[in-house]
């Protein structure tokens, strides 16, 4: 498999180079040169395959011959050794729970897959790679966990000050070893801009061999396709069309879903459900892409006003009208999000996290005018990560999972910074 830059298709790289570089030399995101549909017989018989076999069939064309079958299956086994249950919430409304991994968030899959791939490639190299990641909450935690003690890697995490939950910050800053955290005086978009600038900084790249573990990296992004196949495997389709509602921040998750659809998975519609950061809902209504200043919300992992992966979605669909036919997008404020948490608990005895609540709201809004669909929303994080909001709204105390209990008493270790120059100097000294 070869990958090209979305800024210029002239130079092609293989999977290993795309993983190690993160971004193309021209600053563009890598995109597969070709996407081949999976066999119809495979799609129609998913229930007869294990999750390991499904994931292997889904991902193998994007790896090519760079990782042999046995090693790739071992990587997948190490990546998805937990459950992805599909839970009935209401009639025609189901929750796909993606928070049963080690850091209790959907990003465990991509982070672990990338860490295992990079570890595999580093076996034949003495170079140290610096994995650079911006996070609005869950990405950094998943990357820190996935890359902890991985051979040949140092991990640097940038996160926005006062814009992640206490649990998330503990997960980001208590790892030590090969994990370093920087707390940025700004928003996620500021963190992401520093990461992008670093990749075009030749001095920094030459010194540190940078790669990214954000969803801009193909090894972080593409494994998120697995969720959609696992959901369809569990779904008993009853001649209804299928819609997925995806809580969307940097749009990597929903973009992976669009690739799954291109592979032949029977998905008829996507709903990009956002919080108050509504760039994409406004764009789909006006065809005017106009990011505004990022607004902090209780669904903080979605506090992104200029989503990096949207350019990949446009590449998948090519035409604005084709995109509109497959995509709906709605925005919800925090007050609506909390009302949804309360109503779903009251009516279904199910506890949503704020991100899943946004996904639920988007799905309900779509289904209101499309009763011939069956809907799945993605529940992307465990409610404990946002316990203050959830417990206040529901007037209850959440049980703390053992994995969280272990880190709550640990000391947070981070370095504050406020500018790219400050960041660069710290990184050069770090190297």
Q: Domain residues of the chain, as ranges? A: 84-102+221-394
For 382-419, the pLDDT digits (tens) are 999 999 999 999 999 999 998 888 888 899 999 999 99
Per-residue pLDDT, 409: 86
d(CA 245, CA 138): 19
Which pLDDT tens digit goes with each residue over 358-374?
999 999 999 999 999 99
Is the confidence at residue 215, as pLDDT, over 90?
A: no
What phi, psi does 416 have (nearest 5°)?
-80, 145
Q: Residue 258: what pLDDT?
A: 98
Q: What angle, rounded to 10 degrees, do the helices at 334-348 and 387-394 form?
A: 60
C-alpha closest to that of 140 among 87, 195, 90: 195
Catalytic residue among 20, 21, 107, 364: 107
* Token pair of 96 as six digits: 């796909």
CA dihedral sign, ordered 273, 223, 268, 94: negative
* Whether the model pTM is above 0.85: yes
Residue 1's pLDDT is what? 86
pLDDT at 140 over 90: no
Greatest CA separation for the chain: 60
Confidence of residue 205 (pLDDT cuts 50, 70, 90): confident
Rounded to an integer, the average pLDDT of 315-333 is 95
The whole-number pLDDT of residue 151 equals 80
Confidence category of residue 242, pLDDT binned at 50, 70, 90: very high
Q: Note the pLDDT of residue 25.
A: 86
| Residues 150, 158: Cα–Cα separation, whole Å | 19
- Of the chain, the percentage scoring pLDDT greater than 90 comes to 76
Does the annotation count 412 as an active-site position? no
Q: What is the pLDDT of residue 27?
A: 86
Q: How far is CA 37 from the centre of its chain?
A: 23
Domain 84-102+221-394 has CATH 3.40.50.1100: yes
The yes-or-no verdict on residue 431 having pLDDT over 60 is: no
Give the Cα separation of 358 and 354 in Å (integer).
6
* Cα separation, 129 vs 134, whole angstroms: 16
């Amino acid at each position: 498999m070869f990958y090209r830059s979305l800024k210029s298709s002239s130079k092609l790289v293989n999977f290993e180079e795309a993983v190690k570089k993160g971004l193309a030399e021209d600053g563009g995101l890598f995109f597969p040169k070709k996407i081949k549909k999976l066999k119809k017989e495979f799609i129609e018989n998913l229930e007869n395959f294990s999750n390991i076999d499904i994931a292997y069939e889904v991902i193998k064309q994007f790896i090519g011959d760079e990782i042999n079958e046995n090693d790739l299956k071992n990587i997948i086994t190490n990546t998805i050794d937990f459950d992805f249950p599909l839970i009935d919430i209401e009639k025609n409304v189901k929750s796909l729970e993606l928070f049963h991994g080690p850091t209790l968030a959907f990003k465990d899959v991509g982070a672990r897959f990338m860490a295992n791939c990079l570890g595999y490639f580093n076996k034949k190299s003495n170079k140290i790679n610096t994995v650079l990641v911006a996070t609005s909450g869950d990405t950094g935690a998943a990357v820190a966990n996935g890359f902890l003690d991985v051979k040949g890697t140092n991990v640097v995490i940038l996160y926005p000050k006062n814009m992640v939950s206490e649990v998330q910050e503990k997960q980001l800053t208590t790892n030590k070893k090969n994990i370093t955290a920087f707390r940025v005086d700004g928003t996620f978009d500021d963190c992401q801009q520093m990461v992008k600038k670093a990749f075009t900084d030749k001095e920094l790249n030459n010194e540190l061999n940078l790669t990214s573990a954000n969803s801009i990296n193909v090894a972080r992004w593409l494994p998120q396709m697995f969720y959609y196949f696992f959901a369809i495997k569990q779904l008993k389709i009853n001649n209804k069309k299928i819609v997925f509602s995806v809580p969307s921040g940097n749009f990597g998750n929903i973009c992976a879903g669009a690739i799954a659809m291109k592979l032949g998975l029977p998905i008829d519609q996507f709903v990009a459900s956002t919080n108050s950061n509504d760039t994409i809902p406004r764009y789909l209504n006006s065809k005017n892409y106009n990011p505004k200043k990022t607004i902090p919300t209780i669904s903080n992992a979605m506090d992104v006003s200029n989503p990096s992966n949207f350019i990949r979605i446009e590449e998948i669909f090519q035409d604005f009208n084709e995109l509109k036919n497959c995509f709906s997008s709605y925005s919800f404020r925090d007050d609506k999000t909390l009302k949804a948490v309360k109503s779903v608990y009251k009516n279904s005895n199910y506890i949503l996290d704020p991100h899943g609540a946004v996904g639920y709201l988007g799905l309900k809004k779509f289904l209101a005018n499309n009763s011939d669909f069956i809907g799945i929303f993605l529940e992307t994080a465990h409610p404990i990560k946002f316990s203050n909001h959830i417990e206040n709204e529901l007037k209850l105390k959440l049980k703390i999972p053992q994995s969280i209990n272990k880190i709550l008493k640990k000391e947070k270790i981070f370095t504050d910074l406020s500018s790219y120059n400050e960041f660069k100097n710290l990184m050069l000294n770090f190297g």
